[in-house]
Amino acid sequence: MTAYVIIDIKVTDPELYAQYRELAPDIVRAFGGKYLARGGKTEVFEGNVSPNRTVVLQFDSMERAREWLDSDAYREARKMRHKSTVTRMFVVEGI
């Protein structure tokens, strides 16, 4: 079943994050993922939330999303993201 990775990113080191943004898309694609949203306009409809940069990824399954996140291919990029952002990330299974 399709899975969606929802990511809220507060960038703390723009230069390092720019390097991460160059690496990440090819790795996402290598695991069958694709970007559905990547930092576009965000509007809060309800609730007390202040989203920063929102990214939405689609994978074929939750397992495939986990394989991407834990992969050797993504390891260095993930470290770059951790050093350059404050991130909240979760995955939700589609219907």
The segments of the chain whose pLDDT lies below 70 read none
User: Would you say residue 79 lies in a domain?
Assistant: yes
The domain spanning residue 70 has which CATH number?
Answer: 3.30.70.100
User: Would you say residue 46 lies in a domain?
Assistant: no
User: Would you say residue 33 lies in a domain?
Assistant: yes
Q: Domain total for the chain?
A: 1
User: Would you say residue 65 lies in a domain?
Assistant: yes
Contact 5, 89 (CB under 8 A): yes
Chain Cα centroid distance, residue 61: 15
User: Would you say residue 66 lies in a domain?
Assistant: yes
* pTM of this structure: 0.93
User: Would you say residue 13 lies in a domain?
Assistant: yes
pLDDT digits (tens, 9 = 90+) for 43-56: 999 999 899 999 99
pLDDT at 61: 98
Distance in angstroms (rounded) separating the CA atoms of residues 7 and 24: 13
Domain ranges, residue 62? 3-41+51-93
